[in-house]
Structure 1
Amino acid sequence: MSFDYSIIGYRIKKAREDKGITQETLAESMDVSNAYISKIERGRTPVNLDNLDKICTVLETTTDYILRGTSTTNDEYMRNEIIDMLEGCSPEKIKLIANVIKPIIDYKG
């Protein structure tokens, strides 16, 4: 199994920002350097399992969310995953996606 460390880093950064925690605070709680957290969040260095566990504990998130972008412990996980997928899409792609999902949303079956 292969992981995209830039996506993992993005999810860690998003979870950290959602909790209102700075990189420095996260680094201190894990007894690592601020530069290490920065490298993880930018996808420049892989995070080992021990540190991933520490990150998830501090940020009160799951490894499922960090590694795969899903967390069934959160009722809004799929909505948030869709929103994350839309980030960085061009306006043309967003319009295409909207045209595809509108009939599904409007379906009364």
Structure 2
Amino acid sequence: MDYRLLGEKIRKERLSRGLTQEVLAEKANVSVSFMGQIERGERKLSLETLIKIGNVLGLSFDYLLQDSRKTKEQPDTSGPVYIIKESGSRFPEPSAGNRPELDELVHAMQERTPQEIKIITEVAKTILKYCKNK
């Protein structure tokens, strides 16, 4: 995760809406100094804080993370992101009979470690929790 790119995107979107750091920080329920550190990529932020910032700016979670997921160690994985229910520790082989978007996700998950799958599952649960609240 490239927090500098994420912070730049947040700053650009904030400025395009004519908001100050103070206003965005207040609406996202974080301190002004923390908001500045986020925008400069100096501090990591929680998923909950990222979602709050996105909601204030009217931006989707995936839009905010787009491009900031790229690092020197990670390949470009841009494209749609789909979420499925946790169905156990093993994923079935993709098949033409399933929905193509789920097949794409299953294929991407097969190359992940059990720890990565657990993290992805927890992130998905958090996202789904916020989707239900809308």
Task: Report the counterpart of residue 41 of structure 2 in structure 1.
Answer: 43
Are residues 1:9 and 2:11 paired? no
Query: How far has the Cα of 1:62 moved from its partner?
Result: 1.2
Is 1:68 paired with 2:66?
A: yes
* Percent sequence identity over aligned pairs: 41
1:24 maps to a residue whose letter is E
Q: 1:30-49 CA deviation, whole Å, 9 max, x = no partner? A: 22110000000000001110
Residue 6 (structure 1) shift: 0.1
1:1-109 to 2 correspondence within 5 Å? 3-69=1-67
Between the aligned partners of 1:30 and 1:61, the Cα distance in structure 2 is 13
Q: Provide the rounded CA distance (Å) in 2 between the counterparts of 1:4 and 1:31.
A: 23
CA displacement at 1:20 relative to structure 2: 0.9
Q: Aligned-pair distance for 1:26?
A: 0.7
CA distance in 2, matches of 1:31, 1:60: 16
For residues 48-103 of structure 1, give each alpha carbon's deviation from its aligned partner in whole angstroms, at most 9, with x where no partner exists.
10000100000001112211148x9xxxxxxxxxxxxxxxxxxxxxxxxxxxxxxx
Do 1:7 and 1:43's aligned partners in 2 also have CA atoms closer than 8 Å? yes
Structure ranking higher in helix proportion: 1
Distance between the aligned counterparts of 2:28 and 2:4, measured in 1? Answer: 20
Could you tell me which runs of 5 or more consecutive residues in structure 1 were left unpaired when the two chains were aligned. Answer: 73-109
Q: Cα RMSD (Å) of the superposition?
A: 1.9
Aligned to 1:81: none
SS at 2:11 equivalent: helix
> Unaligned 5+ residue runs, structure 2?
68-77, 81-134
